[in-house]
Amino acid sequence: MRRSRQPATPHSFLNAERIHIPMQRAETADTPHSLPPQIEHVASCSLPTAWASFQLHAFVEKNTGKEHLAMVLGDVGSGEPVLARLHSECLTGDALFSQRCDCGEQLENAMRRIAEEGRGVLLYLRQEGRGIGLINKIRAYQLQESGVDTVEANHHLGFADDLRNYAVCKPMLAHFGIRSLKLMTNNPRKLDSMKRLDIQAERVEHVVTSNPFNAEYLAAKASKLGHLLTSANPHAPADDGVNS
């Protein structure tokens, strides 16, 4: 039988660690005071995977020191639209196989689809937890186990819904001569960001099958963040009450 969960109060959420963080607002590519990031391409190597052998490129943001990756396959500088994925880092989903989110499956599916196309690019952006960082994401998971959703957890921790900034994508894509994307995404904010950056982007649906552990997380992304997930196969939340 499913255990009932009583919503916890903000005080009980934060009592143990006494976290007091001023609300951080999202800075998108068109935020007036945002400066275009300065990117340095530092190295590249081959990256053989189960799907194809990609060329892996390492970039560093000069002003923040953040490190980003680009996985490239085939000739992407011809001027034709390039199949692409802008993937924000998710250590728990990408590397630890967590089922609390859909990130790992989206990453694998993007690599597979690029391999099938024979041409494409995947930008791996160091924006863990929609920009709040790994430790704060774990804090958010703890709050979610008390009954709030992924957006509400951000707010309880003092963060906006989504702190990711896609401005870094422009100089990374320009490095390869990419001006037009067939963008694998369910997030309209990514499409809006590309438009503000003067990068042509046509959406390619990238919905993966939900599971009992991420059904509520995906529902919150659809209802509160506007993600286009209508073709997902919903599951009931798990009996143990663990949801993200």
Catalytic residue among 100, 113, 130, 164: 164
Q: How confident is the model at residue 31 (pLDDT cuts 50, 70, 90)?
A: very low
Q: What is the tens place of the pLDDT at every residue in 134-193? A: 999 999 999 999 999 999 999 999 999 899 999 999 999 999 999 999 999 988 989 999
Comparing 25-29, 69-73, 123-127, 163-167, the range with the smallest average pLDDT is: 25-29
46 CB contacts (<8 Å, ≥6 apart)?
A: 53, 54, 55, 56
In whole angstroms, what is the distance from residue 225 CA to residue 77 CA? 33
Q: What is the tens place of the pLDDT at every residue in 65-102? A: 999 999 999 999 988 999 999 999 999 999 999 999 99
- Tokens 């250590």 identify what position? 91
Secondary structure of residue 221 in the 3-state scheme: helix
Comparing 13-22, 100-109, 172-181, 228-237, the range with the smallest average pLDDT is: 13-22
Asked if 162 is an active-site residue, the reply is: yes
Pairing of β 120-125 and β 200-204: unpaired
Q: How confident is the model at residue 210 (pLDDT cuts 50, 70, 90)?
A: confident
Residue type, 80: E
In whole angstroms, what is the distance from residue 224 CA to residue 96 CA? 26
List 43's β-bridge partners, or say none.
Answer: 58
pLDDT of residue 216: 83
For residue 230, pLDDT beyond 80: no
Catalytic residue among 119, 130, 162, 239: 162
Under 8 Å between Cβ of 166 and 106: no
Chain mean pLDDT for the chain: 82
Both tokens of 45, joined, read 């190597």
Instruction: Over range 39-61, report the average pLDDT.
Output: 97
Both tokens of 211, joined, read 């599971």
Under 8 Å between Cβ of 207 and 188: no
Q: How confident is the model at residue 218 (pLDDT cuts 50, 70, 90)?
A: confident
pLDDT of residue 225: 78
In whole angstroms, what is the distance from residue 202 CA to residue 5 CA? 41
pLDDT of residue 36: 64
Which letter does DSSP use for residue 176 in this model?
T
pLDDT of residue 18: 38
Handedness of CA 198, 199, 200, 202 (dihedral sign): negative
Q: How confident is the model at residue 224 (pLDDT cuts 50, 70, 90)?
A: confident
Q: How confident is the model at residue 55 (pLDDT cuts 50, 70, 90)?
A: very high
In whole angstroms, what is the distance from residue 79 CA to residue 117 CA? 16
